[in-house]
Each structure stands twice: as structure tokens, then as C-alpha cells.
Amino acid sequence: MTRHRGEPAPVREDAPARGDAPPAVLLRGAGKTYGTGHARVHALREVDLEVPRGEFVVLLGPSGSGKTTLLNLIGGIEPATEGEVAAGGRDISRLGEDARTAYRRDTVGFVFQFFNLVPSLTAPANGRLVAELTGRGDEADVLQRGQRRTGLHSHHKPAAATHGASDSTG
């Protein structure tokens, strides 16, 4: 089913009860501008978006339409230059770099389009790096889970992994 801008979402009988819970995502007048002066580019302007908890949203649009920029704002990868961005009732639009890093680490999950492993490190070294940066699980457990999920062995480097496997290392 395709919906167009301005059309209300259909009511789902199996939708979770929302009560007074804040929306999963809320943007009010959000925007992102890169550069200054004549090199200024408005990647997003005055975006208003509300996604209730439990809803599934798909972003579609041509290359350069702002999909990645929007996800970067919601995910705390970069701050909005204007407006408000909130996730789960928490205003993330004014967080500093350290707080945004903690928000991403503790709250957000991304599967990037391109590899995000250190190409010069072996699979275990990449796993150790993830364990150290996240503080999640002991090193041996992280490495074993990563090897089971990716099929990489201790001497492999990221180039030996499939695209999906390298995204799930760690």
C-alpha cells in the first residue's frame, strides 16, 4: 500500500497501545545546512515528521533528496542546524558531541551501506575494537559471536567478508 504526503496512516488492529508514550521520532522545523556563503547547501529545510512508536516507515526518494541526512539527524550522527529533533521523547537536537556519541551507542542501530571495519585489522582485531569501544561483553564472547555471524576466521581481514557479513562483525 502506498501513501502520499498528507494522507493519514491506516489504523492497524494489531498496533501496540501507545497511551501517552512520546513518539519514537519527532522533528519540528528541522533542517540541515552545509557550508557557508555561496557554498551553502540546504540539505533539509523545515522538516516536520512524527513517527509513533511501533510504526514502520520507509524513506523513498531520488539521490540527493535528503534521505541520508534525515537519518543522520535522527540517529545523532550529525546535529540539525535548525529546529527540533527528538527520539523517544528525548531532545537530541541540542546534544553535544559526547552526548550524541552516548545516544548512538546506547540507543541507535545502523546498518551502513558501505563497510565500516578497519581494513588493515584482522577480524578478531576489529572485534576487539568493537568490544573496547562499546564495553559490551567480554572480548572472547564478542569474537566468537562475530565469527559465528560472519564466517570469518582469525586471520581474515574485512576484504574476505561479504558485504552483509562485514556489517555484522562485532
Q: What is the pLDDT of residue 11?
A: 46
pLDDT (tens place) for every residue of the chain, 170 residues total: 455 555 555 544 455 555 688 999 999 999 999 998 899 999 999 999 999 999 999 999 998 899 999 999 999 999 999 999 999 999 998 899 999 989 988 888 777 666 567 777 777 777 777 777 777 666 666 667 766 776 666 666 666 554 444 444 44
Q: What is the pLDDT of residue 127?
A: 72
- 96 by Cβ neighbours in 10 Å (0-12 / 13-18 / 19+) ranks as exposed
Q: Which domains does the chain have, with CATH numbers?
A: 25-107 (3.40.50.300), 123-167 (no CATH)
Q: What is the pLDDT of residue 8?
A: 54
pTM as predicted: 0.60
Q: How far apart are CA 27 and CA 146, in angstroms?
A: 35
Using an 8 Å Cβ cutoff, are 21 and 90 in contact? no
Q: What is the pLDDT of residue 43?
A: 94
Q: How far apart are CA 70 and CA 129, in angstroms?
A: 28
In this structure, what is the dihedral angle of CA atoms 51, 33, 66, 107, given to the nearest 10 degrees?
A: -40
Q: What is the pLDDT of residue 12?
A: 47
Q: What is the pLDDT of residue 51?
A: 96
| Identity at 159, one-letter amino acid code | A
Using an 8 Å Cβ cutoff, are 64 and 41 in contact? no
Q: What is the pLDDT of residue 166?
A: 45
Q: What is the pLDDT of residue 143?
A: 65
